């Protein structure tokens, strides 16, 4: 706003009229901003991103009950819609341009339009059986409330295209729409006594949006399986609820990321971060949520640095970190890769400085090696994957606990089993090499001689069966 912001404007209004009812419609989600607004006595504080037409309508209706919001709108300019636009559009009798041209001729009287998808929640063909009985009443109803037409999309779904007089007051337009929906419900109840679900599209003044508006109504109706039958379901509200469900997915993902950091599970951490950026956020395509996620992950990184006393330079390459650091990236994928690298740095830094030895884990790893020594694929990398540990961390705690590297321990276990076979069996040296997990006889020979000081053949001569 020029000259002053919204809060200052409210302060000025309060100097003139202490009791004026004020409703704020804002994109500010800051608690401090909302708190100050409520302190100034505003009636309500609505957030744009979460606002639906239904919420706005109810807020205004409650705030100004003395206004004539329920005034009779039947005196508004009336026009019919030539029968057949919906049917010819849905049956592909019109091209998009032809349908738009036809509809546009009925919007010239300063009208908007919307679509209703009405379903009778009864056995199949129930509504179809009554459509002839209600046909004339339905036509009169639409004409009295601005104009429109209907089309039986299938045996139990009625599509209604309705014109609505454009008004400077969106409240009046919402009231007009509300009256039409309630009138249709009353009409169907009178003839069919059936439970009815109504899907409501957004309003539009653009005739070229006809296909989209029809699809919005249908989509809202389809959501009855999630939100309940027998209700009026607004497309905008359904869309916002779907977005809320996506936000919950993001929150679950963030909890898993935090848990993975706490437990040192880098494999899970990378999987969840990749899913967050490459699936969840790209599916939402909401920039404000992208910024939120970036800030949360940056907070996780800095808080764990503080918790583990890791210098920022070890993770970020500098001790000075800007909160807008991700703004330099052009794509979500670039942000994802940047965070994966930062968490890699964090884990390596923690593992470099953490001298605590996890004895239970080391013991489990030793038991695993003892049972699987004969596998030629056994290595530091495969064990790290099996135990969901970073290989650097695994190598460090294993060495601190046993005084040996993982590969040294694997080699010693294999050599001990090889010695038993050399002493107690008539298997060849090559056969023993493969049975104890060595990839080649030469590797077995080299490691055996390094550990025992003599070759496998010589060892058998000295200790073998006589």
Q: What is the pLDDT of residue 200?
A: 92
Segment 67-96 shows an average pLDDT of 51
Q: What is the pLDDT of residue 286?
A: 62
Q: What is the pLDDT of residue 410?
A: 93
Average pLDDT of the chain, as a whole number: 79
* Domains with residue ranges and CATH for the chain: 6-51 (3.40.50.2300), 85-230 (3.30.70.270), 241-353 (no CATH), 359-463 (1.10.10.60)
Q: Which H or E element spans position 303?
A: helix 287-307
pLDDT at 19 over 90: no
pLDDT band at 292 (very low <50, low <70, confident <90, very high): confident
pLDDT band at 79 (very low <50, low <70, confident <90, very high): very low
pLDDT band at 434 (very low <50, low <70, confident <90, very high): very high
- 332-340 contacts, C-beta under 8 A, 24 or more apart: 332/277, 332/278, 332/281, 332/282, 332/290, 333/277, 333/278, 335/277, 335/290, 335/294, 336/273, 336/274, 336/276, 336/277, 336/278, 339/273, 339/277, 339/297, 339/301, 340/270, 340/273, 340/274
Closest to 438 in 3D by CA, of 462, 417, 466: 417
Q: How far is CA 300 from CA 43, 297, 321, 331, in A?
A: 38, 5, 13, 21
Q: What is the pLDDT of residue 60?
A: 72
pLDDT at 458 over 70: yes
Q: What is the pLDDT of residue 235?
A: 87
Dist CA 359 CA 308 (whole Å): 20
pLDDT at 80 over 50: no
* Most confident range, picked from 18-32, 146-160, 234-248, 256-270: 256-270
Q: What is the pLDDT of residue 291?
A: 80
Q: Regarding predicted confidence, which is higher, 113 or 244?
A: 113
Segment 21-30 shows an average pLDDT of 72
Q: What is the pLDDT of residue 246?
A: 72
């Amino acid at each position: 706003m020029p000259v002053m912001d919204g809060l200052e404007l409210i302060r000025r209004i309060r100097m003139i009229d202490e009791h004026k009812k004020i409703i704020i419609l804002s994109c500010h989600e800051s608690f401090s901003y909302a708190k100050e607004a409520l302190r100034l006595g505003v009636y309500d504080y609505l957030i744009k991103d979460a606002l639906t037409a239904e919420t706005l309508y109810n807020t205004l209706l409650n705030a100004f009950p003395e206004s004539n919001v329920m005034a009779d709108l039947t005196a508004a300019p009336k026009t019919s819609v030539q029968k057949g636009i919906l049917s010819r559009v849905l049956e592909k009798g019109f091209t998009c341009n032809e349908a738009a041209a036809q509809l546009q001729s009925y919007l010239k009287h300063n009208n908007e339009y919307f679509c209703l998808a009405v379903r009778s929640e009864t056995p199949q063909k129930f509504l179809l059986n009554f459509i002839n009985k209600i046909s004339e009443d339905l036509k009169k109803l639409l004409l009295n409330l601005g104009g429109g037409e209907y089309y039986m999309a299938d045996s139990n779904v009625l599509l209604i295209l309705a014109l609505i007089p454009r008004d400077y007051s969106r409240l009046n337009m919402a009231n007009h729409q509300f009256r039409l929906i309630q009138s249709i419900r009353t009409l169907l109840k009178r003839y069919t006594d059936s439970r009815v679900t109504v899907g409501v599209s957004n309003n539009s003044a653009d005739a070229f949006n006809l296909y989209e508006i029809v699809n919005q109504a249908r989509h809202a109706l389809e959501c009855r399986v999630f939100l309940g039958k027998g209700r009026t379901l607004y497309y905008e509200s359904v869309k916002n609820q779907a977005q809320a469900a996506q936000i919950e997915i993001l929150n679950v993902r963030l909890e898993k990321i935090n848990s993975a950091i706490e437990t040192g599970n880098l494999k899970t951490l990378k999987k969840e971060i990749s899913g967050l950026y490459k699936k969840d956020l790209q599916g939402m395509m909401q920039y404000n949520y992208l910024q939120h996620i970036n800030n949360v992950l940056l907070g996780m990184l800095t808080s764990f640095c503080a918790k583990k006393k890791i210098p920022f330079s070890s993770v970020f390459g500098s001790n000075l970190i800007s909160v807008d650091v991700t703004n330099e990236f052009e794509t979500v994928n670039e942000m994802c890769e940047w965070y994966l690298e930062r968490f890699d740095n964090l884990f390596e830094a923690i593992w470099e400085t953490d001298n605590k030895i996890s004895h239970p884990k080391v013991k489990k790893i030793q038991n695993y090696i003892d049972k699987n020594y004969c596998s030629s694929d056994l290595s530091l990398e495969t064990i790290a994957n099996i135990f969901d540990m970073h290989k650097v961390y695994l190598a460090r705690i294993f060495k601190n606990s046993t005084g040996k590297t993982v590969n040294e321990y694997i080699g010693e276990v294999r050599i001990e089993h090889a010695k038993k076979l050399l002493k107690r069996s008539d298997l060849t040296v090559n056969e023993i090499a493969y049975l104890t997990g060595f990839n080649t006889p030469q590797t077995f020979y080299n490691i055996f001689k390094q550990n025992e000081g003599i070759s496998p053949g010589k060892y058998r001569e000295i200790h073998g069966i006589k």
